[in-house]
Structure 1
Amino acid sequence: MKYLIGIDGGGTKTKCVITDFQLKPLFETTGGPSNFLIQGTDKVSETILGLIIKCVNNLQIQFSDVAAIVLGTTGGGRQNDAEDLEKAITHLAAHKKIPLNIFKVESDARIALEGAFSGKPGSILIAGTGSIMFGKDRKGNIHRVGGFGRFIGDEGSGFSIGQKGLRIVAKQFDGRGNKTLITDLLKEKFKIESPEKLINEIYRNNFDIASVAPLVIEAAEKGDKAAQFIIESETEELILHIESMRKKLKEKKIFVALIGSLITTDNYFSFLFREKVVQKFNDVVIKEPENPPEIGAVLMAKQLSSQ
């Protein structure tokens, strides 16, 4: 009997599942973070190989019984980086005398897309720390919108919202802008109460800018005009993602699965965004993902094993 392994590599934890060829989960496990752009390929290789070993040992099978393994993780969408991680993991496996039949690194968004629609056509909009949209048409072609990163992209994301919120706070500190509730919330949660403290946190302490997004959303919900302006503009950015994907997919109706806490939890931002989707599109249907990303990785592993 042959098996498949799918791995969803995250910035805080990694999910791993081993299934049979009917995609029935037989064992699931989790490990530490696997963002190799931050953790490094050596450390992530140990994490990933450890999860694979756990799966094999739990089912009491041989490594050669695993037909294919797909890992989806941040940075996996860039071919050179993905190949570097693949080489690091296969090299470590060979060093430990562990045979891997097929091992492939993909982007976390790609496996999320496959999982959300069980390999069928559809699209996913991700809005968490960053933002990106992926779509798959009826011919199996993959289309992408956004995902240019925080320096030139990530519109409609936690980072973008947080960054705009902090800019408004900086202006208030200087007297260049009006008073905003975001400043009070920032002081309350992070003890940032002066220009010096703000600059120090951002440029010396690697402050998590996306962590300010919930404060901006809270301020907007409480009627803060500056915060509401940010939320209005950032939801419009996500609407632009959908408009662009509609043109790329060229379907009479497109299905969109939402991923990321900004648009999947009940908050001012997600309510406004969903309301705009309904108002602006009569051919867009928001749909719950059919499967988690790790099952999407399994689907891709199955496809690789049959090639």
Structure 2
Amino acid sequence: MNIFISYTNNGKRSDVQVKIYIGVDGGGTKTEAAAIDIQGKVISRYTGSSTNPYVVTFEGAMQELMNVLDQLLAPLSSSISTYAIQGICLGMSGISTIQEKENVISSIRDYQEERGLSFPISIRTEAEISLMASLEREYGILVISGTGSNTYGITSNGEIYRVGGWGHILGDEGSGYQIGLLSLKTVIKSLEGMLPPTSMTKAITDAYDFSHISELKGYVYKSSIGRNDIAAFARYCVEAAEGGDLLAQSILQDQARELAETTTTLIGKHKELEQTDVVCTGSIFRHSTVFRNGFRDILLNRYPKLSFIQGRHNHSPADGGARLARKLYATRA
């Protein structure tokens, strides 16, 4: 999806060169990109698919990243006579080592050569662009609970700490994947009488057009079913919990506790993290009050000087990346 703002003069395209800054939020499920002007106004936005190399291979990730950039820039030629890309800042899941960053930069350099472009490139953590989006600064604590989960702590001196982010097999405590998986296990245990009835059973049966919940087995063991498909079941847990389902509430409370333990370990890495701003992001935090309140209550009981921020600005992480690019390269000639 693209949005863009036309720079016009009495209905005609402006001939004034517009300086733009690009931010990219690359994830395991989707990749969002935004372009802003020097005033911070979003002039183009595009959402593509995954650019996590551990989900789609490095080659596939780079191919999609180039497609996202092409689609982001395409509308600008019809709305702006001339524009100059001043810089790009990317926060990409699955890209953390020096070698991985160098490989991404090399791919973008190839892209620039093919398109006749030239602009500086910065690869930052997803925490930095998300904190910039919410706080308009790069330090604090970021806790992510979406399809996967992760925690970051960044001090005012720029020291970066991370606990979690090991993926759905080795970690992802408190994530949509784990909640979805536990929801499936719960409805099966309910079917067999090991647990009481749950409203999740009917919700899943209706949503997937099963004649009986036992058909779930044939669905989840298909070779085509992956991490995102399992994580999609978390929505039925969240909805059931909001409706008072005790089993669903228990799943969310347990997973909130798991993520709180991960975050507690993160906070123990540096004293400053005990009294900073905490930004919670991702679909589970966004949609589940049971999960959100449970997580918050545990941490505030342990660290009462923490401040939980909902986000002072209505910016996406991709917007945060673009704003960080502007901060880094606004003085570029």
User: Could you state the TM-score of these two structures normalised by the residue count of structure 2?
Assistant: 0.78
Match of 1:297 in 2: 321
Are the counterparts in 2 of residues 8 and 297 from structure 1 also a CA contact under 8 Å? yes
Structure 2 unaligned regions, length at least 5: 1-16
Residue aligned with 2:311, SS = coil
- 1:238-277 → structure 2 map (5 Å cutoff): 238-251=259-272, 253-265=275-287, 267-277=289-299
1:137: Cα distance to partner? Answer: 0.5
Deviating more after overlay: 230-239 vs 261-270 = 261-270
Match of 2:198 in 1: 180
Match of 1:28 in 2: 44
Aligned-partner Cα distance in 2 for 1:171–1:266: 23
Match of 2:111 in 1: 92
Match of 2:96 in 1: 77
Residue aligned with 2:36, SS = strand
Aligned-partner Cα distance in 2 for 1:78–1:264: 30
1:151: Cα distance to partner? Answer: 0.6
Match of 1:210 in 2: 231
Percent identity reads 26
The amino acid of 2:216's aligned partner reads: L
1:43 to 64, 85, 88: 64
Aligned-partner Cα distance in 1 for 2:94–2:40: 28
Are the counterparts in 2 of residues 162 and 209 from structure 1 also a CA contact under 8 Å? yes
Cα pair distance change 1:87/1:53, threshold 3 Å: farther
**Number of residue equivalences:** 301
Match of 1:14 in 2: 32
User: Could you state the TM-score of these two structures normalised by the residue count of structure 1?
Assistant: 0.83
1:239: Cα distance to partner? Answer: 1.8
Cα pair distance change 1:186/1:86, threshold 3 Å: same
RMSD, aligned CA: 2.9
Aligned-partner Cα distance in 1 for 2:244–2:117: 59
Aligned-partner Cα distance in 1 for 2:139–2:123: 21
Cα pair distance change 1:137/1:55, threshold 3 Å: farther
CA deviation profile, 1:85-120 (whole Å, cap 9, x unmatched)? 333332133123x22221234443431123323224
CA deviation profile, 1:192-216 (whole Å, cap 9, x unmatched)? 4344x32332221416111211222
Residue aligned with 1:257, SS = strand
Are the counterparts in 1 of residues 46 and 68 from structure 2 also a CA contact under 8 Å? no
Residue aligned with 1:32, SS = strand
